[in-house]
Structure 1
Amino acid sequence: MEKYEKLEKVGEGTYGKVYKAHDKATGQLVALKKTRLEMDEEGIPPTALREVSILQLLSQSIYIVRLLCVEHVEKNGKPILYLVFEFLDTDLKKFIDSYRKGPSARPLPPNVIKSFMYQLCKGVAHCHKHSVLHRDLKPQNLLVDKEKGILKIADLGLGRSFTLPMKSYTHEIVTLWYRAPEVLLGATHYSTGVDMWSVGCIFAEMVRRQALFPGDSELQQLLHIFRLLGTPSEKEWPGVTTLKDWHVYPQWTPQNLARAVPALNEDGVDLLSRMLQFDPAERISAKDAMAHPYFDSLDKSQF
């Protein structure tokens, strides 16, 4: 790893520490994601290799953070894998916060929300086309190039292969806010709808500048969802009462979704409602979302 100079630690991903660094040969800024591997006799576990190959495949999209290379080193006899990514200076959470806090607090411009949403749908559609579920979409995992106005999906799928001891505090709570109801209710088989629910929550958060469903436990999370969208029944979500963690919940009627996102136009509210359908089979796909009338005013030729 003599090729890189670490400048600062910028975070901890699902699977290890993340450093801002620069490539000594080119001067290019990069993000180094470091993870220790539990090695078997054959060397790097095949699951890790599979994840890296998936990431290389997905990196062909401009809306997925680009994996530049993989470095395998040994330190004190312990194997370490460094994933070298392009570096982006902020994430969507920090970007939203910059509009929410301080004397210059103001709503995000509608054209920025629309552009970011289109890019997010395009990136998610690319993942789903290659049979990859992200499963942890949230503003912190979406990187932003402010100068170019580009949004990129990060932390893609590696949580499944690189399992480190996880701290059980804010990461878990924050992730709850974007978790689909079928996962909260204990479904073991789920599909692309889990990502589209998260996309809907992110959409609402950009408009509101605060989380739509800020629960602090799985039960609280469900109650937040049911209060706004109504308590689901077998009629609108066949099979819901047979899910492992289903209980008898207070019966709420659906509220007017537009009131939760007053700055969003009629087409935007319609798209959001299609993303937040209880029945995963009824949720709009990322590909179909890109063709929704909400995006009609967007110049799609630039994406």
Structure 2
Amino acid sequence: MAVVGTRSSRQCMMAFHAVNGPHNAILAAAQPTFSSVVPTDAQPDRPIGYGAFGVVWAVTDPRDGKRVALKKMPNVFQTLVSAKRVFRELKMLCFFKHDNVLSALDILQPPHVDFFQEIYVVTELMQSDLHKIIVSPQHLSADHVKVFLYQILRGLKYLHSAKILHRDIKPGNLLVNSNCVLKICDFGLARVEEPNRRRHMTQEVVTQYYRAPEILMGATHYDAAVDMWSVGCIFAELLGRRILFQASTPIQQLELITDLLGSPSAEDMSTVCQGARQHMMRRPYKPAALHVLYSLSSQTSPDAVHLLAQMLAFSPAKRLRVTDALSHPYLDEGRLRYHACMCRCCWSAGGQPRQYTQDYEPSAHQAFDDTWERELTSVVQVKDRMRKFIVNHMSPEKVPLCINPQSAAYRSFASSTVAHPSELPPSPHQWEA
């Protein structure tokens, strides 16, 4: 594999051996005169996540000795669709500026275009994710739930204000630190909202347990309401410490949803495919059983059930929007605790609390621009544009990073692949009229 850096492979290798000699660090500094910082309690590089479109390792940044996350996106340019998807995710990671949304800290400089096949992105390293916390024996108080839910919605408001749909909100994509700070991650399925309702959108999105009913029922167009459904499912999972709708097929998934919410009306199914609508209309009527939500946990309050029921409205048109959810009384205490204890914008440079004068839940300054996607019509064009974007994005004052193929962990890192197909979001059921 070609060494990734602004200098040649030979120069980077000579620099590494001159300064460090072979060791366990996957990352090395690309400048020969730069001395790597190796902390005395250095931890070995190790894998921490395998997703649908890449793998993530916890590694050490040789420039300052800090632990960071290194995401490898392999086989980027196999097809035009995959190349555009990776470029979109890369642009989003560089666009984001929000405490509750993961963003790119650095991108490893690409090699010559002939050897350019993989992307390496450096992000902040978080300690865990919400899935691991939910399934652990760790106690989750009502305050924990409120603080986590507030941060999810706060980050989601930022994304939706930038006209971005995440399309895969789930506990495993919500990173958490020991101080309870939460960040939304993994934008491999994210895209800009489609204003034209006649344009079809892919249905192969969102892990099934968190998939909105309109997608389960074959809707060809959807909006930000699909993310809010996912957040509602996660809210219930935080309260009950179990997945709310856990079925083996999309049809069974829909059955579990109607068992709780009751049979949808014809108006509620106005956006779904005809076959799905006819299937539901033929089934016996089911009344709503929202009282079941009270049994999720001893911490489930009337306010919690009221908010949850509005998030889990069957019809996307009736589902609560993120700005309205943030103003719900249930989140008042979570907002207060977050801004008093964890939010960086609420503290002065001297470490003293200050009067918070900005909007509690800031929006993006502008919508994310995806017009470039329509301009690129070949893999070669995408590769050339992506390489220029990476080179131009990074600061000239920063010492560039390169891969160290002499690392003891490099062989394992280089052979890392994406998740097994069984771990990917399942394809939607094809309804028949």
Q: What is the CA RMSD across the aligned residues, in angstroms?
A: 2.8
- SS of the aligned residue for 1:279 comes to coil
Q: Which amino acid aligns with 2:288?
A: P
* Distance in 1 between residues matched to 2:160 and 2:260, nearest whole Å: 28
Residue 260 of structure 1: how far off its partner (Å) = 4.3
* Equivalence map 1:1-303=2 (5 Å): 2-3=27-28, 7-39=45-77, 45=83, 47-58=85-96, 60-73=97-110, 77=115, 79-99=117-137, 106=139, 108-146=140-178, 148-156=179-187, 158-159=188-189, 175-235=207-267, 237-239=268-270, 242-246=273-277, 247=279, 248-255=282-289, 256-263=291-298, 264-298=300-334, 299=336, 301-302=339-340, 303=343
Residue 143 of structure 1: how far off its partner (Å) = 0.3
Checking the alignment, whether the CA contact within 8 Å between 1:92 and 1:143 is kept in structure 2 is yes
Q: Which amino acid aligns with 2:52?
A: T
| TM-score (structure 2 length as normaliser) | 0.60
Q: Which amino acid aligns with 1:152?
A: K
Q: Which amino acid aligns with 1:133?
A: L
Hey, which of these two has a bigger chunk of strand by percent?
1
* Distance in 2 between residues matched to 1:24 and 1:9, nearest whole Å: 18
* Distance in 2 between residues matched to 1:191 and 1:73, nearest whole Å: 35
Flag the structure with more relative contact order, 1 or 2, with Cα contacts below 8 A and sequence separation at least 6.
Answer: 2
Q: Give ranges in structure 2 of 5+ residues lacking alignment.
A: 5-26, 30-42, 192-203, 344-433
Checking the alignment, whether the CA contact within 8 Å between 1:144 and 1:152 is kept in structure 2 is yes
Counterparts in 2 of 1:38 and 1:141: CA distance versus 1, 3 Å? closer
* Distance in 2 between residues matched to 1:10 and 1:203, nearest whole Å: 25
Rg comparison, structure with higher value: 2
Q: Which amino acid aligns with 2:293?
A: A
Q: Which amino acid aligns with 2:287?
A: T
Q: Give ranges in structure 1 of 5+ residues lacking alignment.
A: 100-104, 162-171
* Distance in 2 between residues matched to 1:24 and 1:243, nearest whole Å: 57
* Distance in 1 between residues matched to 2:77 and 2:293, nearest whole Å: 52
Give 1:169's aligned residue.
Answer: none
CA deviation profile, 1:127-152 (whole Å, cap 9, x unmatched):
00001101110000000011x21111
Q: Which amino acid aligns with 1:110?
A: A
Q: Which amino acid aligns with 1:28?
A: K
| TM-score (structure 1 length as normaliser) | 0.84
Residue 71 of structure 1: how far off its partner (Å) = 1.9
> Bigger shift: 136-145 or 288-297?
288-297
CA deviation profile, 1:159-179 (whole Å, cap 9, x unmatched):
369xxxxxxxxxx99921100
Residue 286 of structure 1: how far off its partner (Å) = 1.2
Q: Which amino acid aligns with 1:61?
A: H
Counterparts in 2 of 1:125 and 1:241: CA distance versus 1, 3 Å? closer
| Percentage of pairs with the same residue | 36
Q: Which amino acid aligns with 2:118?
A: I
